[in-house]
Amino acid sequence: MNESNVPTAQVEEKVPVAGKFWLSFADCMCGTLNSLLTGGGMTYFFTKFMGMDEGLASVVWILFGIWNAVNDPLFGYISDRTKSKLGRRIPYIRYGSLFYALIFIATWFRWPFGGSQTVLFVQMLVTLFLFDTFYTAIATSLYVMPYTMAVTNKARSGIFIWKIAFSVITLAVPLVVFPLIKPEVGSDPTQFQLIMTGIGIAAFAVIFASTFFYKEKVQNESTEEMNIFRSVVTCFKNRSFVVFEILSFTVIFIQTILMQGVIYYFDEFDTPMPFAYGALGIGAIGGILLWIRMLRPWGVRKCVTIMCISFAAGAAAMCVCGQVMPVALVVFLLAGCGFAGGMYLVPIMNGDVIDYDEIKTGARREGIYAGVNSLITKPAISLANAAFLMIAKWFGYDTTLTAGMQSELAKHGVLVAWMAIPAILLIASAIGMKFYPLHGKQWDEEKAALAEKHNES
């Protein structure tokens, strides 16, 4: 049976290159500000530089975590119901970008109310809440824009390729730039503040300007009103969404635990870092080329299943033989291919899930799907961090020892903590794909009909 998710009807969608470029650039700059602030930069600045108590900073993050779990589905629901001449998403991107940038810039300046612990606590809490509110509004809108700009996977695919290319900047700036410019304790922060201000202004300019180069092709045509609770419940009645969430949770969990575990791995094993990262990069590039080429003949379901099984096999091998360099390099290669699949295939699959919901409900509800997805996947980040540390401790890992001084059992524990749960989750995802309904001739015809419907509107 044809597994392709590309409509068989002669529906040819074109997304202008300028639209792909500017959407991806805006998404990149939005993510860069968020990574700089929430990826450790804000905590460092408030605790190390401004002298805030670490315990109070932890309380801020706990309170923020509660809000962060609520605001994604809430905003998704609101944006789905937004009506304006610019569409449902663009107003939040265009006009939210100014406030988003201003709050980012203000983060790196001390409030003029003194430097007491109470003032620092309030400043960090208010700043973080405001920043994330605008981040959610903009990032969620940018995240779902590809699903409103096109219906066919062929057209959407080009957008995701551009987004993957720009993601290099989002990853590199927090990892490379911040350590180089961060102010040391007792130093003059002026240069750091000017650089962060410049980054904030540049992000605003890019995000704001981008909204003039793309538009929503797919609008919400349903007149049926759903309250937020019913809207969330309807998401879970969509079987394809449940299967997608198993995969989405797995991808976020693995991305987190792999980045954490790799630090411990290189501390205890002799695999050369350049070789390992070289294999990772080759796997990522090869994976992108593979999935782009095979999406049409194999379809999403088969591509994702193959990705999960091969990545799971590599993770299992690392648990057992991770100390053997050839095995480790092969696993890094498979991990790169898996990362490529996570960045390319998962968004394609998400688009199909949303399209299927429209076919069943008559409404475009990208926002609520994005919000519920965040609600489910964000705990994966905390669970991944906690699971790694807990498993490593079970095997006797001693945090007081210098690199390379762990016992053989503790070293093996690093491998298990790093790769065991990812292998299990990947197998679960592969099994879950057997129940994924959006494949085959009938789905191709439904996608084609939906694409023609929106081309005529």
Give the whole-angstrom CA distance, residue 12 versus residue 431.
Answer: 33
DSSP assignment of 351-417 equals: HHHHHHHHHHHSS--HHHHHHHHHHHHHHHHHHHHHHHHHHHHHTT--TTSPTT-S-HHHHHHHHHH
What confidence score (pLDDT) does residue 404 get?
Answer: 84
Whether 297 contacts 153, CB under 8 Å: no
User: What pLDDT, on the 0 to 100 scale, is given for residue 456?
Assistant: 63
Determine the straight-line distance between the first and last CA of the chain, rounded to whole angstroms: 32
Q: What pLDDT sits at residue 5?
A: 45
Q: What are the residues whose beta carbons fall under 8 Å from the beta carbon of 119, sequence distance 6 or more? A: 111, 113
| Confidence band for 206, pLDDT divided at 50, 70 and 90 | very high
Alpha-carbon torsion angle 107, 110, 111, 114, nearest 10: 150
Contacts of 61 (CB under 8 A, 6+ apart): 43
pLDDT of 46 > 70? The answer is yes
Neighbours of 177 (CB within 10 A): 16
At residue 9, φ and ψ (nearest 5 deg) are: -70, 160
pLDDT for 7: 42
pLDDT above 60 (res 248):
yes
**Given a cut of 80, is residue 110 above it in pLDDT?**
yes
Share of residues in the chain with pLDDT > 70 (%): 94
Distance CA 349, CA 433 (A): 11
SS3 196: helix
With pLDDT > 90 as the criterion, what percentage of the chain qualifies?
44
What's the whole-number mean pLDDT along residues 46-56?
Answer: 85
The model's pLDDT over 328-377, given as tens digits with 9 standing for 90+, comes to: 999 999 999 998 898 899 999 999 999 999 888 888 888 888 888 888 88
Rounded to whole angstroms, the Cα distance separating 71 from 90 reads 19
Query: How far is CA 436 from each of CA 269, 353, 431, rounded to the nearest angstrom?
Result: 40, 10, 10
> Are 92 and 79 in contact, with CB atoms under 8 Å apart?
yes
Q: To which residue do tokens 């057992």 refer? A: 320
Residues 309, 311, 316, 317: is their CA dihedral positive or negative? positive
**Position of tokens 């050839």?**
326
Residues 123-143 pLDDT 10s: 999 998 999 899 999 998 998
β-bridge mates for residue 114, sequence order: 112
Predicted pLDDT of residue 224: 55
Residue with the bigger pLDDT between 66 and 162: it is: 162
Residue type, 320: V
Looking at residue 289, its pLDDT comes to 93
Q: Which of 32-36, 73-77, 420-424 has the highest mean pLDDT?
A: 420-424
As a whole number, the mean pLDDT across the chain is 87
Average pLDDT for 181-210:
92
pLDDT above 60: residue 89: yes
Q: What is the pLDDT of residue 181?
A: 84
| Beta carbons within 8 Å of 409's beta carbon, 6+ residues apart | 395, 396
**Residue 218 above 70 pLDDT?**
no
The residue behind tokens 């991107």 is 93
Domains of the chain: 13-219 (1.20.1250), 238-457 (1.20.1250.20)
Residue 6 has pLDDT above 50, yes or no: no
- The answer on pLDDT for 400 being more than 90 is no
At residue 21, the pLDDT reads 96
Alpha-helix residue ranges (DSSP H) falling in 272-324 = 273-321
Q: Which residue has 């401790």 as its token pair?
A: 393
Residue 157 CB neighbour total at 10 angstroms: 21
Q: Match 């119901």 to its residue by tokens.
A: 81
Residue 166 has pLDDT above 60, yes or no: yes
Find the mean pLDDT for residues 431-449: 91
Residue 12 binned pLDDT confidence (cut-offs 50, 70, 90): low
How far from the centroid of its chain's Cα atoms is residue 444's Cα?
28
